[in-house]
Structure 1
């Protein structure tokens, strides 16, 4: 038994990286419990394992006292001095009490401890490997599902895709290969657990890093992402090099780069907009594809709110279906956005208009002039069609009915 024990400890250290001392400490603690359980002993006990010879010794630990009340826990000073004249009251003395048949119990206990340490070591290795993938993309295979989770095989571990992390426009079937974003890796009592997502904004960011080399190397920076997974995402970008067109680079030739991300996300629409340091320009860009005449900030409010004025015929487009365009723009910029049609605004101070807004206003005027042409009825019908969407705006102001 001693030779087998030493070999097992050596193998565990070499193959799993578990220090021999750690296993011996756990083994000694387990043997103490095994001794008390099998021999109905309640005294203080120490178990010592000799890593060189493989021998196991059990010792009863007793305290030196003047008067003995419990012989299992105490030894008289007289008896202690007979052993060694240096002993004093309060000293601890070890008496070997190793049972003759303790070797069998020790072998069983050692096997259990070693197996437990092997499992812990394997779990630790898996945890260390996958914890480095937090906030990264991994590709896995759908293994199975239940009422709450989709289970994705990542190779050495099965990740959990919760209901809130599943795309509403996707169905996951066994053997499907999918890319997932690792949100969290935990080391639990049952082993490491990996949580992944298909709805996290980080998935969009990592996908663009894979498709756009300029984003990966930092030439183009993703400033912020506002996402309603499965439907639409707005992404704000800026270039660290003035010679680079951030939006054009991100979209790619003929939209190839952004289309690759759209395809990976099962048709989720992508709006790539230019980030601007000027909040007015940034908000105007964020409301793309709608034209913006002016952005006015409510200085008396401390909650970062702005009123955005758009041409009447662009109102539905600016708000978006069920308020989505305005909602995503607000999330992207960090401003509460109140959208008003131009006809409801009596006066707009030109000094508050950014250059981009002045150009947009001019374009809106040109559009209004063009609307006097014989094609008037067609454009009115188009405006009515857009208004029929019954837009929902984040503003508390009532919108006029088309």
Structure 2
């Protein structure tokens, strides 16, 4: 096996096994820091050993065993007390297989396990994204629109609370799922978003592995909890968004916005499935939640054969309902985009300018403002807004698009 093949095997193993190894060690040792450090040491050992010895038949088992030994070695070094040594020695023995409980899928079970209701919602979501979702601290920070240092501190405090309060990493039962599902859906929504349009400059603009996994896991939740309207809504939202993926980035690597996309390239099967889920939720007659409304907005967009045929009054009405549920500045920004199509860019700009104090560090705020200023013929201010959006954006396809739009200004 070539060196490139070995590196690819290690990278693949890291993607598939990291969360499982960390969660397994955390359950055994009760210490997330030890689990993460031991997992990192195991992967570092693989980098040295696998090129010389070859990739083992079962990389996941090899990594788990190596990480367990690394963790035990650390416990022995840090604490010489007999009871700790006995506890560590016991961990050399294979534990009986843990019951999967209500959830058969390993990764989904880990996400439900990590989304413990004892933690605040944002904290449990951030910690789960780090432990299981495969997102880095910078990616998580960008998802929450907070500085990296603040997000790192939030995750560290969550680990400390877990340790101090002895919150158990226990596989949830069926009765536990309703209290945890909202956090799980939030995790999958953010993983999907990072996959659909990555926020970092060092990754591909679109990370299909993340979006596909988020859809797979949301399908499982839908099957597991068929009466949960938000699970159905999130699945519909993902499908209707994923249907446009192949039309979202041009061959030259530039973002293609909704008004310029080739709608014939959209995935008709995914759109049909998403529309069916939206209709099912409407027929249920229940008050829709956040994901259901977002799915309905996407259903309006994907129903229009052309951008000019979009029912913008319905889109704005749906955003009005959404604002009552989620009065976040991001929702207000997205609503303003729809208002610009219905009532004109001047009306939308007046709304957007009120969000500056909350979204000054968000590239999409400046990109939206730049586009509205361009449409109003205010080229100098538009150029400055494009410059700020380009400075803040991390996605290479977005940067290419914003740069072209800026350079087209007179």
Alignment TM class, shorter chain as reference: under 0.3
Which of structures 1 and 2 has the bigger CA Rg?
1
TM-score by length of 2: 0.26
TM-score by length of 1: 0.26
More helix per residue: 2
The structure whose RCO (Cα within 8 Å, separation 6+) is larger is 2
More strand per residue: 1
